Amino acid sequence: MRITSVESFSVFSPGARPQFAWREGLPGGPDDGYASVLLIKTDEGVEGVAIAPRPGSGPVVSDLVERVLRDELVGADPLQREWLWHRMWELDRVYEFPINVLGLVDTALWDLAGRLYNAPTWEVLGGYRQEIEACASTSTFSTLEEYLDVATQCIELGYPAIKVHAWGDARKDAALCRALREHVGDEYPLMYDGSAGFDLVDAIYVGEALSEANYLWYEEPMREFNITAYKWLAQRVRVPLNVAETSDGVHMNTADFIQSGCATFVRTSTELRGGFTGAMRIAHLADAFRLRAEPHGNTIYARHLCMAIPNCTYYESLVTSNPAKREVGINAKGIVGAPRGPGVGLPPGLHYPPELESYVVDLAGSAVP
């Protein structure tokens, strides 16, 4: 089989209303913008699609397709995913792809493989499960009282765990995390995501509160460029760290986090970790050290990864509004079902051109009763 065409589409992606809020200092989002869809066609009629959903990726990917990727891919065998994955690394050395573009071709090729074998991509990757618990992952709310109210709503909606994104103020966030533990009781799983807002001093302060309040994990308290700072943090706090979400370098970078001793959980995703090939490398690397690899974000790709990765705990389901809403495809017990095939397809909600509409998936269709 040979690739015969590579097209990119800038697809209008309406921003969230209201916008998600992360910690103070970070822009909320997402804005209105143009996501990018890559469509790969072959001489045997099998096709693969992938989306870089971040608004603004549309023009970037179109440019790369025109200048670099089409010439590289046309004529190649789309089933040689490992070869093409390494080619993307080679090209990245020269062109410095944005981190969310490095895995886009690989993601489309895994979609293509699913269509070829008439199976969902998670099954082609190697199926492990057909349903998983979803944790409610909050955006940032205004007051401590509002968080407690939203937490109650999440529990009533069936979510079996909650991860909070908060203000990025060490004192306020630590107080919030303690209050939340008191509010939900000792047994309910809680996680905290610092969205890289702290230096080591504040990261230790928050980490001590999370340790006392028995949080399951402490995610990305600092930017992930200095592994030594993470090592020192892990030596000073008891709460398990969840690391390497946004750092460059895929499994090779994750390996150094693990080697430093700071990781109990690592992050993995198609979007930031080099497609399905990179995401699965990270999961297997973590597994070798008896660590967990937790899929990042509420994407259709994360749903597939959750079904293929043995050593993960939750699907991350964003709760961004008050009143809180349960995401489509999650049942009243907070369980998300395995996507149906073939391949992966494209998420609903964007303004696709007619030639892409047949790839859009129905997330409600994979819900478990």
Closest-CB residue for Mg ion?
A: 193
Question: Binding to Mg ion by residue 271, rule CB under 5 A?
Answer: no
Smallest distance, Mg ion to C-beta of residue 116, A: 33
Smallest distance, Mg ion to C-beta of residue 275, A: 19
Smallest distance, Mg ion to C-beta of residue 308, A: 20
User: 141 and 79 in contact (C-beta within 8 Å)?
Assistant: no
CA distance 47 to 343: 10
Two tokens at 73?
């891919």
Question: Binding to Mg ion by residue 294, rule CB under 5 A?
Answer: no
Single-letter amino acid, residue 358? S
CA distance 40 to 70: 9
- Indicate which single residue of 47, 72, 173, 193 sits in contact with Mg ion (rule: CB under 5 A): 193
Smallest distance, Mg ion to C-beta of residue 218, A: 11
Q: Which is nearer to Mg ion, 116 or 227 (CB)?
A: 227
Q: Which is nearer to Mg ion, 61 or 302 (CB)?
A: 302
Interacting span for Mg ion (CB under 5 A) from 41-49, 66-74, 192-200, 353-361 = 192-200
User: 173 and 205 in contact (C-beta within 8 Å)?
Assistant: no
Question: What x/- string results for residues 237 through 256 when contact with Mg ion is judged by CB under 5 A?
Answer: --------x-----------
CA distance 163 to 315: 11
Count of chain residues binding Mg ion (CB under 5 A): 2
Residue with tokens 């030639």: 355
Q: Which is nearer to Mg ion, 193 or 224 (CB)?
A: 193
Q: Which is nearer to Mg ion, 272 or 361 (CB)?
A: 272
Interacting span for Mg ion (CB under 5 A) from 75-83, 130-138, 189-197, 205-213 = 189-197
Q: Which residues of 231-267 are buried (b: 16+ CB within 10 A; e: fewer)?
A: bbbbeebebbbbbbbbbebbbebbbebbebebbbbbb
User: 48 and 40 in contact (C-beta within 8 Å)?
Assistant: yes
- Residues within the interface to Mg ion (CB under 5 A): 193, 245
